[in-house]
Amino acid sequence: MSTYATLEQEARSQWEALQGRPWLRVGMAICGRSAGAQEVLDALRRALERHGLPATLTPVGCLGLCFAEPLVDIQKPGRPRIFYQRVTPQSAEALVEDYLLRDNPRPDLALGTLGGQVAGIPPLEEHPAWKPQVRIATRNCGTVEPANLWHYIANGGYRGLAKVLAEMKPAQVIEEVSKSGLRGRGGAAFPTGTKWNFLARAPGPTKYILVNCEEGDPGAFNDKGILESDPFTLIEGCTIAGYATGASKGYVFIRHGHEGPITLTRKAIAEAYKAGLLGQNILGSGFSFDMEVVLTGESYVSGEETALMEAIEGKRAMPRSRPPFPAQVGLWGKPSNINNVKTLSYVPEIVAKGGAWFAGIGTERSKGTAIVCLSGHITRPGWYEVPFGLTLRQVVEGIGGGTSTGRPIKLLQTGGPLGGVLGAERLDIALDFDGMAQAGAIFGSGGVIVADDTTCAVDMVRNLVAFCQFESCGKCFPCRLGFTHMLEVLERIATGQGRPADLEAMRTIGQAMSLGSLCGHGQLGFNPVQSALRFCADDFRIHIEEGRCPTGACRPVLSLPRRTRPQPVGGWYARHAYAHH
């Protein structure tokens, strides 16, 4: 039977062995692969073999600096890590010859260093995209081999679970999570400790922890980023949640087709079983917990917690009426909790360092950090973990570098297709769950799409509504008909045939959807329209009064019945969202 001390000793031994010769790490998450990282990895391997160099070449996940992909870092024994950006197969071979053979670190190709200084290369810690970050859930991303258990343990992994099993009772774990102020990162921002307490109090020997990685929002890619880069932090967090609530099994729910997160999470789960960190009698504690990955089809509504359970049970992903709530009657009729990937990924560090430590980061109502995905008209697209309380301006202009076009920011689309629109005049509001909601938008799962002044708000909202209309499961008619009617009105306005009464018609439709829909898909469906009307009223006025688009962006959306309507692949959302990482 494994003990944590023996696992930790083995992990440290393997990690120290990596430091004895040059170590090359290549970002192989989907952002890196799409930029050519596989070709770079192959070129590095060929160059090392050709020169007979005894070096370690490791595929890692995403550091979050997606703008710099393909990203390679090289660490010589006793020296800092040097990160090289936008590496090509040709420059990869040059790095091997120049730095590994001739000791020329090639400052002209470098982004920055970590862990020390190299002449001519700035520290990564001072880079505007890195300096404001506080990396907790993403602490290992881009550093460890994603499904390598020894890498994870060598960097402090599983010390939280070991502490829980050796020193804490389930109620104490929940108390610590409650003390941290952790709120759900999936969109609703419900207090995690309170949710866990509901499940802990539910009677019955069989309970489930469900992990939501459906993540169908164009513009949000942090859940998949964590699973592609450090799946063990999710597995450990889920296991701790199982111990705290009395659950016996965890299901990681991932959208079908996302092969990177699926493959790496399955491999990591298998490694955890092999080491005795999942399964029966974990670390000799008497606590047993199982995990597996389950898949859903291409259904945005599957991200709604009750629709998620329907999908796991092999049914069509459609929301259930509530009450009863999942903590009483959930998956297969058993008490269940649904948490987002990001939420559970914080738990190991919260338990290891204490709830008060986490509560000391962020704002009064929004504790800890936010993982923000920046895309659209942005100079430095990527995902960044920053403390709550930074302003949107600090995130978009400071970290993101402002617009990639050099034109003024017109608006931000936040929180996914059911989120909202914020005008440029609201850039100075704080990144905060409640503050953003009061401003007319939601933070949601962390997506922030930046649009410059060439963007038409009518065109943008029309494409958001088209996406939501296509993704409606159709179970309840306020959502099924509401999106269809709203899209018809927006299409009329966008093509110069709108009339003043259309604005009031959309408000009426939106109110009916909010009051009558079963789940958030319909209840929040009017959000993007409502916020766009608030911050970009002139775009709607010009379309209706003058019969023209102020930016010339509006084009007809193909008008087909709801069941055959294609997603708006040529519209604003597809053009500007850094969709699916």
H-type alpha helices, 76-158:
89-95, 149-154
pLDDT tens by residue, 363-392: 999 999 999 999 999 999 999 999 999 999
pLDDT tens by residue, 255-304: 888 899 999 999 999 999 999 999 999 999 999 999 999 998 777 888 88
* Angstrom distance (rounded) from CA 16 to CA 7: 14
* Angstrom distance (rounded) from CA 434 to CA 414: 14
Rg (CA), the chain: 24
What pLDDT is attached to residue 302?
A: 84
The CATH number of domain 18-126 is 3.40.30.10: yes
Sign of CA dihedral 169, 174, 177, 178: negative
What pLDDT is attached to residue 579?
A: 40
pLDDT tens by residue, 102-156: 999 999 999 999 999 999 999 999 999 999 999 999 999 999 999 999 999 999 9
What pLDDT is attached to residue 216?
A: 83
Beta-bridged to residue 411, according to DSSP, are 423, 451
From residue 99, how far is each of 43, 87, 92, 95, 143 by CA, in Å? 15, 14, 10, 5, 20
Residue type (1 letter), 552: G
CATH of 457-576, one of 1.10.287.3510, 3.40.50.300, 1.20.1440.230, 3.90.180.10: 1.20.1440.230
Please check whether residue 185 is in contact with residue 343, taking contact to mean a CB–CB distance below 8 angstroms: yes
Please give the CATH superfamily to which domain 158-359 belongs.
NADH-ubiquinone oxidoreductase 51kDa subunit (3.40.50.11540)
Q: May I ask the CATH class of domain 370-449?
A: alpha beta
Check whether 56 has a pLDDT greater than 50.
Answer: yes
Residues of the chain with CATH 3.40.30.10: 18-126
Check whether 471 has a pLDDT greater than 80.
Answer: yes
What pLDDT is attached to residue 580?
A: 36
Check whether 565 has a pLDDT greater than 60.
Answer: no
Going by the DSSP 8-state scheme, the letter that residue 101 receives in this structure is I
Residues of the chain with CATH 3.10.20.600: 370-449
Please compute the mean of the pLDDT values over residues 487-502 and round it to a whole number.
Answer: 94
- What angle in degrees, to the nearest 10, is found between the helix axes of 341-353 and 170-180? 100
Nearest to 432 by CA among 345, 346, 364: 364
Sign of CA dihedral 482, 487, 490, 495: negative
- Asked if omega into 408 is within 30° of 0 (cis), the reply is no
Please compute the mean of the pLDDT values over residues 19-33 and round it to a whole number.
Answer: 97
Nearest to 245 by CA among 179, 312, 178: 178
Taken as a whole, the chain contains a residue count of 581
Report residue 525 CA to chain centroid gap: 21
Please compute the mean of the pLDDT values over residues 559-579 and round it to a whole number.
Answer: 44
Residues of the chain with CATH 1.20.1440.230: 457-576
What pLDDT is attached to residue 557?
A: 52
One-character DSSP codes across 498-542: --THHHHHHHHHHHHHHHH-SSHHHHTTTHHHHHHHHH-HHHHHH
